[in-house]
Structure 1
């Protein structure tokens, strides 16, 4: 009789990480596929999930990481586990998580040296059939929402226009820079809170999306940006001419804004600088900037991860791990992404997932003791 594939989920150990890679919902579904699921004790505590909740749907609760990993063929994580934790895992086992391949190259090399097959979920191609597996989108959605809430909390005024017997309170003006998944959710959230919202992006296709959410598009018209969506739905680095024109446009617009949310990222590179100290100085004291790219170097000059910095009377904030501030929902979505991925490739005869070439080539970092992903070899 073939032994069931063991899928292990460990307690996250990165500082500030509150999410967990499996939930009772996804454990139940994985068991339904025929897998045995081992969860390290306490793995779900920070996301509001007790060990008993996992046990109730068929998981084995292991007292420590070593016990959880015993016989594991797949290790699931939010962030890539420390290679030292995986010392007892057999070569060929999968490590499936957000692996930060560019920022954590030594860790990827250690996975290769151990013979593990590391699969980076953030390298999932942005194609229709992989949408439900896309951890970047699911987590960015929550990040855009949370960024606006944090900014609203720091802002010393109301968001919506209020008409009272004592007079009228004007609506806050919010400006979103970068209209990807996080930016769109930031626009929607700021609109729901009653702000007057404007937004900008280098991709022309986002104008229609901005308008559809009831916000005002602010775009450079004198220099061509990116037609359509850009590579993989992401922006790419723009020409010096465009950057100059955008800086001039932002400078004139940002001085009138109360809330600014920046979301611009370029995969594999430092975040582009969107707001300078000089521009911050033009904003009204009491305004708030949330830098969603602070962990990648920041869109905003002077932003510091996990700190509120005040410059020229403007508060600048950015969490290094914004989704971790919504641990229950972020875990639920991330865990579904992982289950959708595993179940899409589940081979009933083999009792395990078998990747196809398109997605396997895109997300596989290591195999057979070597780094094999072209994005890391190029």
Structure 2
């Protein structure tokens, strides 16, 4: 089987879908691998390293992917790239399934597309979970971005000239990104408060040394996949009142709240931003889905009412080497069980719940018609 690894073309995307390490593993499993020249450059993986691992280099996307049986990417195929891919090819990548307008086109082109965002959160699939591996990086880097734009110390300092109080950090959302942000901010000496609609997150938050802020409710705020659900209007009102009190006291806020298939919930209103101290910082990790703060701007750092709003859309790409290593291992762990031992061919078994959940189209048919809802249109 021929596996293709093209260069990413989306703006600000520095990651690559395979590293010399995973290329070597695929070749050891009986596959051939072709890598587009320069594909790993931004992530600091050289063409020579890929060649040493056994890959062949190609000069363009068409030369890389035109004859491939399987394409490994970070971002979904673009409309231009789709023209150079043959019917029957399998593609594994992040697809943005709820917002990507090309899903029908992938199906019509005869592709077998795996959306890595849709790998189920079950024990067997933990090593394939790209959302978690990349969110871990985003949570860590978010704290560093906040420190860059916050003009004061994070830890408490006791000096001859007086005591400097530690920064007060508020983290909204205690998923993978939020938990890593807690751990990082605590290591930097900040005092940390955390809000999450899921009461089950309290134990994890407190184990990291942060204070858990919650709105009492009898509603189940967690779906079957472990993600936060959208709450009713009464909960949202009480949530907004509670969050507003903590926002006004915070020096740094990191927002991570996302609901799959929906725009990011607004957690920090314009009035809340006005209540913050001059020089405070908000890092909005949900900016790609509209933002948890309506004042955030995609891929911009802006100042509003004396508050710095950091709206970097693709934070994992700022740490492209480690992000690529983790993502590439996720892909290898996802693909390896489908490789037939004797022939190295890809066997797509829809009786496997991991494959069934993540395969969005095959044989000219869109298998997840629910993705063509209002969000896509």
TM-score, length basis structure 2: 0.96
Whether the 8 Å contact between 1:99 and 1:120 is mirrored in structure 2 is yes
Whether the 8 Å contact between 1:202 and 1:225 is mirrored in structure 2 is no
- Quote the offset at 1:86 in angstroms: 4.0
- Following the alignment from structure 1 to structure 2, what is the Cα–Cα distance between the partners of residues 295 and 376? 18
Residue in 2 that maps onto 1:311: 304
Identify the range of structure 1 (44-53 vs 82-91) with the bigger mean alpha-carbon deviation: 82-91
- Quote the offset at 1:74 in angstroms: 0.2
Residue in 2 that maps onto 1:125: 120
Provide, for residues 100-120 of structure 1, a one-character-per-residue CA deviation record: whole Å limited to 9, x for no partner.
112112x22221111111110
- Following the alignment from structure 1 to structure 2, what is the Cα–Cα distance between the partners of residues 375 and 210? 34
Q: Residue 284 of structure 1: SS of its match in structure 2?
A: coil
Whether the 8 Å contact between 1:19 and 1:328 is mirrored in structure 2 is yes
Whether the 8 Å contact between 2:69 and 2:89 is mirrored in structure 1 is yes
Identify the range of structure 1 (367-376 vs 168-177) with the bigger mean alpha-carbon deviation: 367-376
Residue in 2 that maps onto 1:217: 212
Residue in 2 that maps onto 1:72: 68
Identify the range of structure 1 (150-159 vs 362-371) with the bigger mean alpha-carbon deviation: 362-371
Q: Residue 347 of structure 1: SS of its match in structure 2?
A: coil
- Following the alignment from structure 1 to structure 2, what is the Cα–Cα distance between the partners of residues 359 and 150? 35
- 2:295 is aligned, of 283, 289, 302, to 302
- Following the alignment from structure 1 to structure 2, what is the Cα–Cα distance between the partners of residues 243 and 88? 47
Which runs of structure 2 are paired with 1:333-372 in the superposition (5 Å)?
333-356=326-349, 357=351, 358-372=353-367
Residue in 2 that maps onto 1:35: 31
- Following the alignment from structure 1 to structure 2, what is the Cα–Cα distance between the partners of residues 83 and 312? 40
Q: Residue 332 of structure 1: SS of its match in structure 2?
A: helix
Task: Determine whether 1:199 maps to 2:194.
Answer: yes
- 1:265 is aligned, of 237, 248, 258, to 258
Residue in 2 that maps onto 1:57: 53
- 1:330 is aligned, of 284, 308, 323, to 323
Over the residues paired in the alignment, what is the CA RMSD in angstroms?
1.3
- Quote the offset at 1:318 in angstroms: 1.7
- Quote the offset at 1:264 in angstroms: 0.4
Whether the 8 Å contact between 2:66 and 2:86 is mirrored in structure 1 is no
Whether the 8 Å contact between 2:91 and 2:113 is mirrored in structure 1 is yes
Task: Determine whether 1:254 maps to 2:250.
Answer: no
Which runs of structure 2 are paired with 1:144-293 in the superposition (5 Å)?
144-221=139-216, 223-226=217-220, 229-293=222-286
- Following the alignment from structure 1 to structure 2, what is the Cα–Cα distance between the partners of residues 226 and 145? 28
- Quote the offset at 1:71 in angstroms: 2.3
Q: Residue 305 of structure 1: SS of its match in structure 2?
A: coil
Task: Determine whether 1:9 maps to 2:5.
Answer: yes
- Following the alignment from structure 2 to structure 1, what is the Cα–Cα distance between the partners of residues 337 and 261? 27
- Following the alignment from structure 1 to structure 2, what is the Cα–Cα distance between the partners of residues 85 and 310? 37
- Quote the offset at 1:80 in angstroms: 1.2
Whether the 8 Å contact between 1:203 and 1:225 is mirrored in structure 2 is no
Provide, for residues 170-196 of structure 1, a one-character-per-residue CA deviation record: whole Å limited to 9, x for no partner.
100001001100000011110011100
TM-score, length basis structure 1: 0.95
- Following the alignment from structure 1 to structure 2, what is the Cα–Cα distance between the partners of residues 322 and 181? 14
Residue in 2 that maps onto 1:109: 104
- Quote the offset at 1:352 in angstroms: 2.2
- Quote the offset at 1:225 in angstroms: 4.4
Identify the range of structure 1 (67-76 vs 195-204) with the bigger mean alpha-carbon deviation: 67-76
Identify the range of structure 1 (346-355 vs 94-103) with the bigger mean alpha-carbon deviation: 346-355
